[in-house]
Amino acid sequence: MMIETMTPQVSEPPYVGPRAFTTADAPRFFGREAASHRLAELWREHRLTVLHGPSGSGRTSLIEAGARPLLPSAEAEILPTGRLSYGSVFPAAALPEHNPYTLALLSSWSPAEPASRLAGWSVADFLTRRPQRTDVLGRRMPLLAVIDQAEELVAGPPHAPDRERARRSFADELAEALDEHRHLRLLLSVREGSLPDLEPYERTLGGGEVARLRLAPFDAGTALDAVRGPLRRTARSFAPGAAEALIDDLRAGTPVVEPAFAQIVCERLWRSLPPQAGAITAEAVQAHGNAALTGYVARALADVAEQYDVPVGGLRSWMQRTFAGTDRDPATNPPQMPPAVLRALEDLHLIRSERSGGELRYELQHPRLIAPLGQMIDTRPSASGPAERLRAATRALASGEFARAERQAVTAVRLGAKSDLRLRAEAESLLGNVAHGRGLRKEAETHYQTAASLFEARQDRTAVGRLLAAIGQIRLADGRGAEALEELHAAAERLPTDLTVQAELARALWELGQTRAAITVLDAVLSAEGDAPEILRTRGEFLADLGDADAALRDLDRLRRLPPGTRAARALALATLGRFDAARHEIDAALDEAPDSGPVLLYAARIAGLRGAGDSAADLARRAEAAQDPALPRHQRRVVRRILAHRPDDPRSAG
Calculate helix-pair angle for 402-416, 421-437, nearest 10 degrees: 160
* Residues comprising the chain, all counted: 655
> 487: alpha, beta or left, given left = phi > 0 and alpha = psi -120 to 50?
alpha
Grade residue 417 by pLDDT with cuts at 50, 70 and 90.
low
Higher pLDDT pick, 192 / 326: 192
Residues 6+ apart with CB under 8 A from 84: 101, 104, 105, 147, 149, 150, 152, 153, 156
Q: How many helices (H) and strands (E) does the chain have?
A: 30, 9
pLDDT at residue 418, as a whole number = 64
Grade residue 634 by pLDDT with cuts at 50, 70 and 90.
confident
pLDDT at residue 102, as a whole number = 93
Mean pLDDT for the chain overall: 87
**Domains of the chain by residue range:** 32-214, 234-374, 562-655
pLDDT at residue 401, as a whole number = 86
CATH number of 32-214: 2.20.110, 3.60.21, 3.40.50, 3.90.550?
3.40.50
| pLDDT at residue 1 greater than cutoff 50 | no
Q: What are the C-alpha distances in Å from 602 to residues 176, 540, 610?
A: 30, 17, 12
**422: which DSSP letter?**
H
**193: which DSSP letter?**
G
Q: What are the C-alpha distances in Å from 366 to residues 27, 151, 322, 370, 371?
A: 28, 21, 14, 8, 11
Q: What are the C-alpha distances in Å from 172 to residues 115, 165, 558?
A: 21, 11, 18
pLDDT at residue 156, as a whole number = 52
**651: which DSSP letter?**
T
- What pTM, to 2 d.p., does this model score? 0.83
pLDDT at residue 530, as a whole number = 67
| pLDDT at residue 20 greater than cutoff 90 | yes
Question: How far is it, in rounded angstroms, from Cα 250 to Cα 255?
Answer: 10
pLDDT at residue 73, as a whole number = 81
Q: What is the pLDDT of residues 355-377, one digit of tens each?
A: 766 677 888 999 999 999 888 77
Q: What are the C-alpha distances in Å from 159 to residues 156, 167, 251, 400?
A: 7, 11, 37, 10
The backbone torsions φ and ψ at residue 217, rounded to the nearest 5 degrees and listed phi first, read: -60, 170
Specify which of 91-100, 114-123, 140-149, 270-279 reaches the highest per-range mean pLDDT.
140-149
Output the CATH code of domain 562-655. 1.25.40
> 182: alpha, beta or left, given left = phi > 0 and alpha = psi -120 to 50?
alpha
State the average pLDDT over residues 76-91. 88
| pLDDT at residue 333 greater than cutoff 80 | no
Pairing of strands 279-280, 237-238: parallel
Collapsed DSSP state (helix, strand, coil) of residue 10: coil
Question: How far is it, in rounded angstroms, from Cα 208 to Cα 173?
Answer: 17
Question: How far is it, in rounded angstroms, from Cα 561 to Cα 543?
Answer: 18
Q: Nearest Cα to 227, choosing from 209, 245, 253, 254?
A: 245
State the average pLDDT over residues 148-161. 69
Residues 6+ apart with CB under 8 A from 585: none
Q: What percent of the chain has pLDDT over 90?
A: 49
Residues 6+ apart with CB under 8 A from 288: 265, 268, 269, 272
Q: What is the pLDDT of residues 589-626, one digit of tens each?
A: 999 988 999 999 999 999 999 999 989 999 999 999 99
Residues 6+ apart with CB under 8 A from 570: 540, 544, 552, 553, 556, 557, 562, 586
pLDDT at residue 164, as a whole number = 78
Collapsed DSSP state (helix, strand, coil) of residue 87: coil
Question: How far is it, in rounded angstroms, from Cα 202 to Cα 171?
Answer: 9
Question: How far is it, in rounded angstroms, from Cα 539 to Cα 541?
Answer: 5
| pLDDT at residue 304 greater than cutoff 80 | yes
Grade residue 289 by pLDDT with cuts at 50, 70 and 90.
confident
Question: How far is it, in rounded angstroms, from Cα 459 to Cα 453?
Answer: 10
pLDDT at residue 169, as a whole number = 87
Q: Are 324 and 293 in contact (CB under 8 A)?
A: no
What is the Cα Rg of the chain in Å? 28
Collapsed DSSP state (helix, strand, coil) of residue 51: strand
